[in-house]
Amino acid sequence: MTCTCPDFVYRGGKCKHIQATRYYLEIEKDIPQGVVTEKVHLTYKQAWDAYNDAQKAEVKLI
Tell me the pTM.
Answer: 0.41
Confidence label for 4 from pLDDT (cuts 50, 70 and 90): very high
Q: pLDDT class for 5, splitting at 50, 70, 90?
A: very high
Among residues of the chain, what percentage have pLDDT more than 70?
74
Average pLDDT of every residue of the chain: 79
Confidence of residue 39 (pLDDT cuts 50, 70, 90): low
Q: Cβ distance 35 to 23 under 8 Å?
A: no
Do 26 and 36 form a contact (C-beta atoms < 8 A)?
no
Q: Which ranges of the chain does DSSP label H, i.e. alpha helix?
A: 6-11, 16-26, 48-61
